[in-house]
Amino acid sequence: MTTRLKIGRLGGQGDGIAWTERGQTYVPFALPGETVTAAVEGERGTLMALIDRSPLRVEPRCRHFGVCGGCVLQHLEPAAYGQWKRDKVVQALKSRGIEVPVDDLVACAPESRRRAAFTARHTERGVLLGYNEAQSNSLIDVEECPILLPEIVAALPELRKLASIVAMSGSPFRLLVTATASGLDIAASDQGTLSDEARHAAGRYVLKAGFARLSVDGEIVVESRKPMVMAGEMAIEPPPGGFLQAVAAAEDAMAALVVPHLAKGKKVADLFAGAGAFALRLARHAEVHAVEADEAALGALDRAFRFATGLKRVTTEKRDLFRRPLTFKELNAFGGVVFDPPRAGAEDQAKQLARSDVPKLAAVSCNPLTLARDLKILIDGGYLLQRVVPIDQFLWSAHVEAVALLDKPKKRR
């Protein structure tokens, strides 16, 4: 049914929201203040036409916008977009009764993302390589992507050819591409078991195309050069398909907040440490104990530490912090702690931190809702929330990162 709607506000996922007699209707790509016609089914509407256009509407950067499911807000003016992302953090904190000044959003530049998770599929018309359509499993064969570093976009034809070599079925599979200092690092997964012929052909093509490394389901097929990324001045060789902050400038912005806040501690802990984005930077100032469940990531961190110079001691511990968080007694050995958990947050670890006497905490999160929950636990445990900084890392998406800095006053004797 086609309906005329007045858009009142933006929802948490970037959809325009209109109020009707039936309740809220969510209209992707519509902006507050606009009058639109939309084909409505249930709670969702498909934008058909703009009747009254918002002055905040701008021309999208990408020809695929509106079909590709990767970006939701390329059409929103930058200042309003930044305010919307900041407000996501503000509202999440308010939902837990936390009133604290929140900084302006640290912006993310176009053409800065160093990592792309492409979907690929072999079809009768050739290999499709790109992203899924919004609200669909249909695959968009992308020809451009203005969020990615230009070297990834320039390599799309070669990546499509490589995908055709490793595709062992017609099922969709993943091609994770990372731009490193030594070339593109490519990790394929779910493509099916490679035949010997395909393995040799893929290896030859990687060398011809000048890629740094190809791994398949975690196993290195060929490595012409070790892929290296920088954590400040320290070089890290990331494990195949391992976690990495998507935008180097966003990682630098997070570290610029975390490191000074914890730098005075003689010994600090990095929880959910990954391959050492914070640990290696912190080791310029303090001894660091890095805790992480991923053994390959810890191995990368340890190698980076051993090849670096001018760092204080870094120790590592393989530990599932969801099942076995550091206890408050263990935490009391540290003068500062940074924790950067997945989207689920770190509820159990936050409960132990709340009981501890650690004087300085830095919480890093990709989910404002779980961050607010964990901060509430820490505040109830006596911590003072000093600063919250939202950081844009996934440009034009609904995702926003944040760094929160906390202190615990010393107990009076």
Which is it for strands 267-271 and 336-339: parallel, antiparallel or unpaired? parallel
Which is it for strands 183-189 and 213-216: parallel, antiparallel or unpaired? parallel
How far apart CA 227 and CA 237 sit, in angstroms, is: 6
Query: Please, what is the end-to-end C-alpha distance for the chain in angstroms?
Result: 70
How far apart CA 16 and CA 45 sit, in angstroms, is: 10
Catalytic residues: 366
How far apart CA 90 and CA 225 sit, in angstroms, is: 44
How far apart CA 23 and CA 30 sit, in angstroms, is: 17
Three-state SS across 126-169?
EEEEEEEECCCCCEEECCCCCCECHHHHHCHHHHHHHHHHHCCC
Asked if residues 139 and 128 have their Cβ atoms less than 8 Å apart, the reply is: yes
Q: Which residues are annotated as a binding site for S-adenosyl-L-methionine?
A: 245, 272, 292, 340
- The HSE-up count of residue 289 (CA atoms within 13 Å, CB side) is 17
Token representation of residue 138? 């249909």
Q: Which residues are annotated as a binding site?
A: 245, 272, 292, 340
How far apart CA 170 and CA 192 sit, in angstroms, is: 10
